[in-house]
Amino acid sequence: MSILVVEELGKTYSGFQAVRNVSFALEAGEMLALIGPNGAGKSTCFNMIDGQLAPTTGRIAIFGKSTAGMTPGDIWRLGVGRTFQVAATFASMTVAENVQMALISHHAARWLTLRWAARRHVAEAEHLLDLVGMADQGQRSCGELAYGDLKRLELAIALANDPKLLLMDEPAAGMAPRERHAVMDLTARIARQRGIGVLFTEHDMDVVFGHADRVLVLNRGTLIAEGAPHAVRANAEVQAVYLGAGSLYRTHT
Amino acid sequence: MSAAKLSVAELRAAYGQAQVLFDVSLEIAAGEAVALLGRNGAGKSTTFRAILGLIARRSGRIVFDGEDVSRLPAYEIARRGLGYVPEDRRIFSDLTVEENLQVGRQPPRSNAPTWTLERLFAIFPNLRELRGRAGARISGGEQQMLTIARTLMGNPSLLLLDEPSEGLAPRIVEQMIEAIREMKREGLSLFVSEQNLAFARLVAERVYVIEKGKIRFAGTMSEFDARPDVRDAYLAF
Amino acid sequence: MSFYFVQFVTGLASASSLFLVASGLSIIFGVTRVVNFAHGAFYMLGAYIGYTLIDRLGAGVGFWPAIGLSAFAVAAIGTLIEMLLLRRIYDAPELFQLLATFAVALVVEDLALLIWGPSDLLGPRAPGFKGAIDLLGQPFPTYDLLLIALAPLVLALIWLIFRRTTWGVLVRAATQDREMVAALGVNQKWLFTSVFALGVFLAGLGGALELPRQAANHTMDLQVITEALVVVVIGGLGSVPGTFLAAIIVSELNAFGILVFPKISIVLVFLVMAIVLIVRPWGLLGRAEAAARTASGAIISRWRPFGAPGRIAAALAVAFAALLPIAAGNYFVGVATEVLIFMLYAASLHFLLAGGGLASFGHAAYFGLGSYGAAIALKSFGLGMETAIVAGIVLGLVGALVFGWFCVRLSGVYFAMLTLAFAQIAWSIAYQWTDVTGGDNGIIGVWPSAWAASPARFYWLTLALSAGSIALLRAITFSPFGYALRALRDSTLRAETIGIERRRVQWMGFVIAGGFAALAGALYAFLKGSVFPDNISISLSIDGLVMVLLGGVGTVSGGVVGAAIYRSLSIWVISHTDYSRLVLGALIIVLVVMFPKGLVGAFEAWRSARTGARLQGQSP
């Protein structure tokens, strides 16, 4: 069974159709890239899948359950991890505490008032930080991390509820080239080990080619191509979207 | 060097902690039209925003008309004749078309073409009929024309034009090309960012290719055409 | 019938001057995003300066030019303050701007007292508008008719300025997108200054025009700022037509409320404001704000519990404090008790504001509910002090449960305004429900049980409860719940995507803060032996904010330190000078400009810079 099924998804903002009739599915252990030019509707799609936006039309099912009416919190509880284009972490906490916070929420302990939060799930947090290669940075303040490490921390937070689906919006944005591949390698390794399906958007074509099993191309809200990276690359319509339809303006030259 | 309209040396910039420009250096001569090519997220908009001081510049030197403007606030740079047209248009949606143009108005400059409402309406005829309409209630193509016209009201001597063809219907793109050529005839220097190669080819003589915040290629349009490897590595899918 | 009509028309006349003040407030907020608390003070200055000008120059230049001149004089003063003070803090968090303008209001109040003396100054009648006309058989002042005509005129004038002048177009553009305006070569600094000048001009004009209707006095400022805030919030922050509409609604509510619901006339206005905020959070004609600025550019420092040295220091401080009654006399022990109570009050607000990022402008509501709950339990139900304190806490908790449920549905300025509205509702009830609360006369004879009756014993009781509560608040801050609350403050987006329920967690945080504030209020009732509506006043709410900001919002419990310093200082200043507000206001201004991180925050920054330098020194 596919872990994520999107059917005929559409979103209209005050008359403007940002996304129309998008359908696809994601399998366990698969790395699926969602790409397209600016304004193609990638973020809108993402925000509908993670519950921040309600779709105008269509259905989304995660692990076979319809997510209609669910909040981002409900969807997290289904077993979905999420990272953001601009890393979202808790700046007044240490690296370890960031992960512990996610674990506390996952273990439904967030209403306790007379216990020390910093003493909860210490080993589990260490394990997750170790997994993303930050074992020795647990006691650092979140505010003093390099950006690449913030992205790794976000990944550790996203893994805290032992998800089977990861939604990553531009996981490599804002990082130096070498670091991008390191983070994507790490993500792919974890995904394969744990059978996690990963849906990610990305601008960096090296990252897409290096790490995606399959690619979806959005343009003006519509899915224009889908398939293995090399097949999509050969697609004429995709080339036109990326390079511009040169033939259109020949008359002027 | 003195002929350079704009010269940028080793510019670094960051959004918060994420560094997005790595030692960007480039030069625009007076009267020249140059394209900045690159994919989505390659750093085109960021380069423009950093030149104008709209995001934090970490280091580097920006010289405009022989004056170091690296530490000046955005409005001071704009007042020296550097016009900026943002990719997302940023029309003042509550203001009418004519009021939008009014916001951009600056005194005429000796080294730059002078624009009046009449002359702008000649280039962008649609705007004339829409002058009393609110910015929110005109189409995407009309907004694109308005944002360019608004910046031209400041009589800039160099125009930074961020992805002018993005999201426009082919008919509008043709109008846009005509408009840009008219600006060139007037002697305006142009620095245009584009993803659309065909468009860039029609307006620019020289090319910079940017990817991941670094300049990867610099040369004339024909030099660029002789290098399909550059195109495939940094622009094609 | 005719009586009601005249009442209606009188309401319209009041709406006029209210509109002048509120529109200025709204315009300033629209562009600079500053809620100008000093706006009432400028209104008052308008009246006083107008009085002097008419008195001195009236014979020469005439009544109307003198009114115009005083508005210009007030605008000049406002411009100066904008350039010297506000310009420095536009990038600081919104609360700081509020604090700074509040301090300006304090200073202006005492300066007015110094210059014009304590008695009310009755201005002259306007030439040509001294009499009354017959309105359906009732006499009606012609000056009021003039005012009624004036408001639409000013509205039209503002509209023209904003539509027909380049300046107005630039201001509207800047309201929408400041960055783009700068990219087009507009210097926003002067735009902000001129907008502030216009807003203050309108306030000054409103004040000067009031002269023929009411005497210039020292309570004008607070009275008008409260109403103007309500008007701006109901109309929609930044919307001038909305302000016009809301000024009429509020004034008519005031005019008829007193006839129809004399018992709850004051509550009425705030009730309407609360309803508007809940149904249409951005006001009648306002527009939903784009993503609110959260923690804009502020460097967030790491929070950690006390280590061994910190705990020992805290224990020593409590032990040392416990010895005080041995060394000091009754007066001093009483002062110390009061300071302790305010430390607890500030700590409870600090928990909500710093720990949860929720800036309550009406925290005094829960302090006051605690006071009244305890006093009523003691006097009306004959319970003992111990049970009465518990009753006070319970009443505070219930209030926070009910009010908080609505408040956490909003955020930012709107959250602040709704908390303010609820506090004013609580205040109005205390003020008007005379049968139960004693109204203005308060409840007196609220004395502690015999075992705690001596100043020293009550001090020890307060010390135990305050220190224990503050420790408890700190513990909660570092508990899983406290982390969840802080996670929402740090990154609402991230927190919600890891399953933290924003509204429920913030609601509970609100209730906890309310409960501890109520305990402080109950203790205060027994310390003073009486309870008055002042226990719920706006100035007490603002005092709380001052104490927290003084200590530092970025700190774990700087509010405690801020409270100790501010309360001691204000008690000392009040007993040593007649111009305490002048001194305190000036002090706050200096602190805001010099220590934008608060005192404790500045200390922490200094300490970490020192250790940082030391570490660097060690490395080869």
Whether pLDDT at A248 is above 80: no
| ipTM of the complex, rounded to two decimals | 0.93
Whether A25 is in a domain gets the answer yes
Within 75-134 of B, beta carbons closer than 8 Å to A belong to 87
Q: Output the pLDDT for position A108.
A: 87
**Residue C90 and residue A127: Cα distance in Å, rounded?**
44
A107 within some domain = no
The DSSP secondary structure of chain A, one letter per residue, reads --SEEEEEEEEEETTEEEEEEEEEEE-TT-EEEEE-STTSSHHHHHHHHTTSS--SEEEEEETTEE-TT--HHHHHHHHEEEE-SS----TTSBHHHHHHHHHHHHTT-TT--SS-GGGSSHHHHHHHHHHTT-GGGTTSBGGG--HHHHHHHHHHHHTTT--SEEEEESTTTTS-HHHHHHHHHHHHHHHHHHT-EEEEE-S-HHHHHHH-SEEEEEETTEEEEEE-HHHHHH-HHHHHHHH--GGGGGGG-
Within a domain: residue A18? yes
pLDDT of residue C418: 87
Q: For residue C150, what pLDDT band results from cuts at 50, 70 and 90?
A: very high
How confident is the model at residue A243, as a pLDDT?
64
Residue of B nearest to C166 (CA): B102
Residue numbers in C near B94 (CB within 8 A): 172, 175-176
B80 min Cα distance to partner chain A (Å): 31
Lowest mean pLDDT among A114-123, A197-206, C423-432, C609-618: C609-618
Q: What is the pLDDT of residue C296?
A: 35
pLDDT of residue B121: 94
Any idea how long chain B is? 237
Distance in angstroms (rounded) separating the CA atoms of residues B84 and B75: 11
Q: Where is mean pLDDT largest: A8-12, A177-181, B137-141, C135-139?
A: A8-12
Of A76, A91, A102, the CB nearest to C300: A91
Query: What is the predicted pLDDT for the residue at A186?
Result: 92
Q: Is B130 helix (H, G, I), strand (E, B) or coil?
A: coil
C126 has a pLDDT exceeding 50: yes
Residue A142 within any structural domain of the chain: no
Name the least confident of B124-128, C235-239, C614-618: C614-618
Q: Quick one: pLDDT at residue C291?
A: 41
Per domain, the residue ranges of chain C are 2-279, 308-545, 580-620
| Residues 100 through 139 of chain A touching chain B, CB cutoff 8 Å | none
pLDDT at site C619:
37
The percentage of residues in chain B with a pLDDT greater than 90, rounded to a whole number, is 65
Are the Cβ atoms of A94 and C302 closer than 8 angstroms?
Answer: yes
pLDDT of residue A143 exceeding 80, the answer is: no
Whether residue B2 is predicted with pLDDT greater than 70 in this model: the reply is: no
- Does A243 contact B198 at a Cβ distance shorter than 8 Å? yes
Given CB atoms, is A209 within the 8 Å cutoff of chain C? no
Q: Residue B75 is nearest to which of C172, C173, C185, comparing CB atoms?
A: C185
pLDDT for B174 beyond 90: no
pLDDT value at residue C612: 54
| C303 contacts on A by Cβ (under 8 Å) | 92-93
Q: What pLDDT does C343 receive?
A: 97
What average pLDDT does chain B have? 90
Q: How high is the mean pLDDT of chain C? A: 89
Chain B (2-41) residues lying within 8 Å, Cβ to Cβ, of chain A: 15-20, 39-41
Confidence of residue A188 (pLDDT cuts 50, 70, 90): very high
pLDDT of residue A180: 84
Across the range C535-555, mean pLDDT stands at: 88
Mean pLDDT, residues C238-250 taken together: 92
Is the pLDDT score of C599 beyond 60? yes
Number of domains observed in the structure of chain A: 1
**What tokens does C453 get?**
């009756």
A175 within some domain: yes
pLDDT at C466 over 70: yes
Instruction: Please report the pLDDT score of residue C580 as a whole number.
Output: 85
Q: What is the pLDDT of residues A3-57, one digit of tens each?
A: 999 999 999 887 678 899 999 999 999 999 998 876 788 888 999 999 999 999 9
List of chains touching A (3+ CB pairs within 8 A): B, C
% chain A with pLDDT above 90:
58
| Domain presence at residue A10 | yes
Say what percent of chain C tops pLDDT 70: 95
In B47-85, which positions are buried (b, 16+ CB within 10 angstroms) versus exposed (e)? Answer: bbbbbbbbbebeebebbbeeeebbebbbbebbbbbbbbb
pLDDT for B15 beyond 80: no
Residue-wise pLDDT tens digits, B197-236: 888 988 999 999 998 889 999 999 999 999 989 888 888 7
For residue B93, the distance in angstroms to the closest alpha carbon of chain C comes to 8
**Over the stretch A55-77, which tens digit does the pLDDT of each residue have?**
999 999 999 999 999 999 999 99
A92 vs C479, C486, C500: nearest CB: C486
The residue of B49, B77, B92, B155 whose CB has the most chain C CBs within 10 angstroms, and thus the best one to mutate to test that interface, is B92
pLDDT of residue A244: 59
A89 touches chain C (CB under 8 A): yes
- pLDDT of C147: 92
The neighbour count for residue B221, using CB atoms within 10 Å, is: 16
Query: Does A78 contact C at CB distance below 8 Å?
Result: no
Q: Which of A203, A204, A243 lies nearest to residue B235, judging by beta carbons?
A: A243
Give domain C2-279's CATH number out of 1.10.10, 1.10.3470, 3.10.450, 3.30.70: 1.10.3470
The answer to whether residue A251 scores a pLDDT higher than 60 is no
> A177-191, B184-198, C189-203, C255-269: which range is least confident on average?
C255-269
C354's tokens: 């710093």
The B158-162 sheet, strands edge to edge: B82-85, B158-162, B189-194, B33-37, B206-211, B214-220
pLDDT tens digits along C184-200:
999 988 999 999 999 99
Q: Is the pLDDT assigned to residue C213 strictly greater than 70?
A: yes
Say what the pLDDT of residue C289 is.
60
Is residue A177 a part of any domain in this protein?
yes
Mean pLDDT on B22-40? 92
Over residues C235-245, mean pLDDT: 90
CA–chain centroid gap for C326, Å, is: 38
Q: Which residue has the higher pLDDT, C444 or B140?
A: C444
Q: How confident is the model at residue C293 (pLDDT cuts 50, 70, 90)?
A: very low
Interface membership of B202 toward A (CB under 8 Å):
yes
CATH of the domain at A216: 3.40.50.300
pLDDT band at residue C379 using 50, 70 and 90 as cut-offs: very high
Mean pLDDT of C141-148: 91
pLDDT at C615 over 50: no
Cβ pairs bridging A and C (under 8 Å) = 113
B103 and C188: CB-CB below 8 Å? no
The whole-angstrom distance between B100's CA and the closest CA on chain A is 23
Q: Is this structure's pTM higher than 0.90?
A: no
| Residue A135 within any structural domain of the chain | no
SS3 letters for B63-115? EECCEECCCCCHHHHHHCCEEEECCCCCCCCCCEHHHHHHHHCCCCCCCCCCC
Name chain C's partners: 3 or more CB pairs within 8 A: A, B
**Contact criterion met (CB < 8 Å) for B237 and A242:** yes
Q: Which structural domain range is residue A16 located in?
A: 4-92+147-244
